[in-house]
Amino acid sequence: MTRDGVPILFHDPALSAALVKGVFCNGNVADLSLADIRGSCALRYGETIPTLEEGLDMMVAETELEGVYLDVKVPDAVLPSARLAARTLARVAQGGERRFQILVAIPTTDVLDAWRAAKPALAAEGLAVPPCLVEFDPDLVLSEGCVAWGPTWTNGPRVHDVERVKAAGAGVVFWTINQSEFVDAFLTMAKPNGIITSRAALVFHRYQSIGTPPTAREEDGGAP
């Protein structure tokens, strides 16, 4: 989140030559205003660094995406990001024809604390709490009322935990799996609801070949 409180879509806490270009483009995102960033920085191929609001609006209006896994990196960004997610979902629901979901991901205990604080703040503003996803602890998925668990693949398929979470009515989305042998292993052993990948076509092909089709409940808008 920028110094003036604007959530942006950016992977790292600081600007670096690996991700952005610009002679005066340096420093921590939190120390710079949106105007500082827009005035000094561009992404690798000259693109403007998008705000979260711009990204969500574009995804709804200009793509056929049905969902967003919103990985909130810093606690201060949780409430403004959840607020934007809630307003976007309300607007989509009002339209009635577009299928689109936003999961606010909780990757750390600090973000979890901020999420807990954000929920009453949203209610006080008359906004619905958007669905959440916990990355690190499957038990918190259930105790926090989240709809999904998002574990890293590096700890293995964790079949027992996946079955336990799915039996409770939540979904499981592993990240980030790019090698075909691991894609196949997780699809056949863990049978997750989704896999985050840099090779979407590969995962889709393998899912069609050996994956487990979603249940009717999931097709009707249940767990992702």
Task: Give the model's confidence band at 224: pLDDT under 50 very low, under 70 low, under 90 confident, else very high.
Answer: very low
153, part of any domain: yes
d(CA 53, CA 51): 5
Whether residues 171 and 61 share a domain: the answer is: yes
Q: Residue 134: beta bridge partners? A: 106, 149
Whether residues 19 and 58 share a domain: the answer is: no
Taking phi over 0 as left and psi of -120 to 50 as alpha, with beta for the rest, 129 belongs to: beta
Whether residues 86 and 155 share a domain: the answer is: yes
Whether residues 18 and 88 share a domain: the answer is: no
133, part of any domain: yes
What does each C-alpha distance from 134 to 53, 69, 161, 220 come to in angstroms?
A: 22, 11, 13, 22
Total number of domains constituting the chain: 2
Whether residues 42 and 140 share a domain: the answer is: no
How big, in percent rounded to 5, are the helix, strand and coil portions of the chain? 45, 15, 40
For residue 158, give every residue at least 6 positions away whose Cβ sits within 8 Å of its Cβ, in sequence order, or none.
151, 190
Tokens found for residue 128: 């619905």
Q: Specify the pairing of strand 27-28 against strand 67-71.
A: unpaired
pLDDT in tens, 82-120: 999 999 999 999 988 889 999 999 999 999 999 999 999
Q: Residue 53: beta bridge partners? A: none
Whether residues 123 and 38 share a domain: the answer is: no
Does residue 55 carry a pLDDT above 50? yes
What letter does residue 154 receive in the DSSP assignment?
Answer: G
pLDDT in tens, 136-191: 999 999 999 999 999 999 999 999 999 999 999 999 999 999 999 999 999 999 99
Whether residues 31 and 140 share a domain: the answer is: no
Task: Give the model's confidence band at 211: pLDDT under 50 very low, under 70 low, under 90 confident, else very high.
Answer: confident
Q: What is the CATH number of the domain that holds 68?
A: 3.20.20.190
Task: Give the model's confidence band at 13: pLDDT under 50 very low, under 70 low, under 90 confident, else very high.
Answer: very high
73, part of any domain: yes
* Residue range(s) defining the domain that contains residue 166: 52-219
- Give alpha helix (H) positions in the chain: 34-40, 52-62, 78-95, 109-124, 138-143, 159-167, 180-189, 200-210, 216-219
Task: Give the model's confidence band at 212: pLDDT under 50 very low, under 70 low, under 90 confident, else very high.
Answer: confident
d(CA 157, CA 151): 9
Tokens found for residue 153: 């693949």
Whether residues 90 and 198 share a domain: the answer is: yes
Whether residues 17 and 29 share a domain: the answer is: yes
Instruction: Give me the long-range contacts of 153-162 (CB less than 8 A, separation at least 24).
Output: 153/177, 153/182, 153/186, 157/185, 157/186, 157/189, 157/190, 158/190, 159/189, 159/190, 162/190, 162/191, 162/192
Q: Specify the pairing of strand 20-21 against strand 42-43.
A: antiparallel
CA 121 to chain centre: 21
Whether residues 35 and 4 share a domain: the answer is: yes
Whether residues 56 and 40 share a domain: the answer is: no
Side chain identity, residue 74? V
